[in-house]
Every structure is written in C-alpha cells, then in structure tokens.
C-alpha cells in the first residue's frame, strides 16, 4: 500500500530556503519517534511497577520511624514526578506521530507558519516554531 497523498513528505511545510521533505527524511523522523515511544512506554511500565512495589513495602513496614517514612515519601514523589515527565514526553511523541500521519507535521501550533525542517530534524517533537517557542519561554 502506498501512503495517502495528504501525508506525503513533499507536501509538508518547510521554511523559506529549505528543501521539501523527502520520504527518507520523514521515515527517519517517524522511525525515531516510534522507537522513542516504545522506550518511553517501557520506562513508564517499569516506574509503575516500582511504585506499586514500594507501596506494598510501605504497608509491610508500617512500624517505621518518622524520618524513614518521610524519606520514603520523598522517593515516591520523586518517582511519580519522573513518570509524569515521561508520560508527557510520550504524549508529545505520539502527538508528533499523529501529525505526521495527518499531514500537519511541521505547522506551528501557535502561528500556523512552518516550523522548519532543520528544527524538526533536531527536535522531532517540536510543535512550535522558534519564534513562538521563544515567546512562550519569555512568559
Ligand atoms: Zn509560530
């Protein structure tokens, strides 16, 4: 089966002066994002089973002194924060893949202008052009 015309690489937006996307370049980005999504899902699965194991431990060791209990709490929150970040990354990665399939990959989600191929090759998950990203960071 061939790709639908709307998702063909050459129709994706690029910045002035940039060459259109080639199928090989788009395949490269898609492959990278897919591999990343697999890795992130594994990481989330591991973090979740660690958190579950720790919860079981803390129930089993209910007699701990306070300092010990609070350091365990800290560890648990740290793990939760990591898995939250990982989840966010996974969402961004999946979002980028959806955009590739929808043929909207490379359109800035804020101003609608091309993000630029060079930027996407460096940051495949980018959803904002450099200007919008900088504006967002200044806020
Ligand atoms: Zn923009």
* Dist. CA 94 → ligand 1 center (Å): 20
List, for residues 61-92, the tens digit of each pLDDT value: 666 677 777 787 778 788 888 888 999 999 99
Provide the β-strand partners of residue 107. 114
Q: Do the Cβ atoms of 109 and 116 come closer than 8 Å?
A: no
- Measured CA distances, 48 to 58, 62, 65, 81, 84 (Å): 15, 21, 26, 12, 11
Residue 2 reports pLDDT greater than 50: no
> Tokens standing for 12?
């994706």
* Dist. CA 106 → ligand 1 center (Å): 10
3-state secondary structure at position 86: helix
* Dist. CA 126 → ligand 1 center (Å): 11
Question: Would you mind telling me the total number of residues written for the chain in this entry?
Answer: 139
* Dist. CA 83 → ligand 1 center (Å): 29
Enumerate the domain spans of the chain. Answer: 19-105, 106-139
pTM over 0.95: no
Instruction: Count CB neighbours of 43 within 10 A.
Output: 17
DSSP result, 10-37: GGS---TTPPPPPHHHHHHHHHHHHHHH
> Tokens standing for 24?
């090989």
List, for residues 5-28, the tens digit of each pLDDT value: 445 899 999 999 999 999 999 999
Q: Which residues surround ligand 1, an ion (CB under 5 A)?
A: 108, 110-111, 129, 132
């Amino acid at each position: 089966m061939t790709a639908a015309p709307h998702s063909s690489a050459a129709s994706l937006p690029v910045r002035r002066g940039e060459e259109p996307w080639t199928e090989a370049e788009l395949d490269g980005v898609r492959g990278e994002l897919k591999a990343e999504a697999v890795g992130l899902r594994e990481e989330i699965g591991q973090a979740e089973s660690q958190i579950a194991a720790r919860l079981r431990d803390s129930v089993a060791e209910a007699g701990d002194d306070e300092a010990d209990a609070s350091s365990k709490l800290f560890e648990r929150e740290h793990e939760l924060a990591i898995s939250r970040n990982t989840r966010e990354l996974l969402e961004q990665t999946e979002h980028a893949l959806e955009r590739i399939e929808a043929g909207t990959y490379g359109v800035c989600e804020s101003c609608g202008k091309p993000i630029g191929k060079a930027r996407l090759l460096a940051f495949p998950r980018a959803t904002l052009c450099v200007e919008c990203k900088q504006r967002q960071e200044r806020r």
